[in-house]
Amino acid sequence: MIQIAVYGKGGIGKSTTVSNISAALAEKGMKVLQIGCDPKADSTAALLDGRKLTTIIDMIRTKGHEIALEQIITPGYAGVMCAEAGGPTPGLGCAGRAISAALELLKEKGAYTELNRDVIIYDVLGDVVCGGFSVPMRQGYAGKVFIITSGENMAIHAGANIAMAVENFQSRGYASLGGIILNRRNVKNEDAKVQELADDIHSSIIGTLNRSDTVQDAEDLNKTVIEAFPESDMAKEYRTLAENMLQACKGSDHHA
């Protein structure tokens, strides 16, 4: 089983990218589980025709731990199984702790064993890489971390912090860095700036996504590009990225 965590700052297009990667892998016949680890809890919406799931944390609040696995996992496009960790009530509690509690419940209920998935993808907010947000890169969860960024300064700053967290944890046998995904925003010197980040963190750009109206058109339909516009150039870019990520994982310690 391949376990991947995709990190990036809020608003960078992370959830859109992850959902299209999940759809592309499912299209290849792989069994995928996508877990949203962002308090906004909208990671999987494009796989569910725009429907937002009840989060695992909200389930725990109302039902305690007496929850069946099928109550926290929902099938979406092409059989991708979807889950949303969720977050605390605004102004109360720590979002990182919520992620930790949600992933522990998924493990307790057998999500990593009974669902028999080929690939698990964690979609993780990367503005803050504190205890809870770092859980997906810890031992027993993801084996590879991918950072999605544009050439915008705040996105690059977040990417550098994520890479530092991965490096700090790697000595404990946690996840290793799989590479950088460049989601172009067409800012000045964008490719050079992201390549500089890759060089600084001793990594590489494993895929690029061009800015395209097709992405917004698919979002307006509450679908992934893969589903809405399967023959588009953008769909091909997502398929290429998904394949590159699989290749980056091969031969590493990502298998559970």
The pair of structure tokens assigned to 126 is: 């990367």
Query: What is the Cβ-side half-sphere exposure of residue 78, based on CA atoms within 13 angstroms?
Result: 25
Strand pairing class (205-209; 176-183): parallel
- What are residue 125's DSSP bridge partners? 8
Burial 118-145 (b: 16+ CB within 10 A, else e): ebbbbbbbbbebeebbbbbbbeebbbbb
DSSP 232: S
The pair of structure tokens assigned to 244 is: 């590159």
Question: Which of 88, 89, 59 has its CA nearest to residue 72?
Answer: 59
Alpha-carbon gap, residue 176 to 124, rounded angstroms? 15
Vertex 214: Cα angle to 178 and 77 (nearest 5): 65
- What are residue 34's DSSP bridge partners? 82, 121
Contact 76, 253 (CB under 8 A): no
Active-site residues, by number, are 9, 14, 40, 127
How long, in residues, is the chain? 256
